[in-house]
Amino acid sequence: MPNLNKLHDDALRMATGGTRRIVSGSSTGYADVRSGPGEDYDLEYRIFNGNPVYTTSAHRTCGNVIWYELTDGNWIAGSLIGY
């Protein structure tokens, strides 16, 4: 029997064109997703720990934090996501 989770992930990767990462580093239980790479940008939405996000190859450093662009054009702090 095929691994349905892998098939689902592969389909989402193909649809989004991004790399799957898991929100995991937030002590609040969620990660803020911003309109640009830094805390000065608008808060667009939040994603709870354990949920996947899909990142592009774009990343920027703001202060000491590396921010990753999501496939929807918004940004998330690298310290809040894992593989």
Render pLDDT for 11-70 as a digit per residue (tens, 0 to 9): 555 555 678 899 997 788 999 999 999 999 999 999 999 999 999 999 999 989 999 999
Q: Six-digit token pair at 32?
A: 């803020």
User: Residue 15's pLDDT is what?
Assistant: 56
User: Residue 3's pLDDT is what?
Assistant: 45
The helix (H) or strand (E) run that includes residue 47 is strand 43-48
Q: Six-digit token pair at 77?
A: 């702090």
Could you tell me which residue, 13 or 1, shows the higher pLDDT?
13
How far is Cα 5 from Cα 41, in angstroms, rounded to an integer? 34
Q: Six-digit token pair at 33?
A: 């997703």
Backbone φ, ψ for residue 15 (5° rounding) = -70, -40
- 72 residue type, one letter: D
pTM (two decimals): 0.78
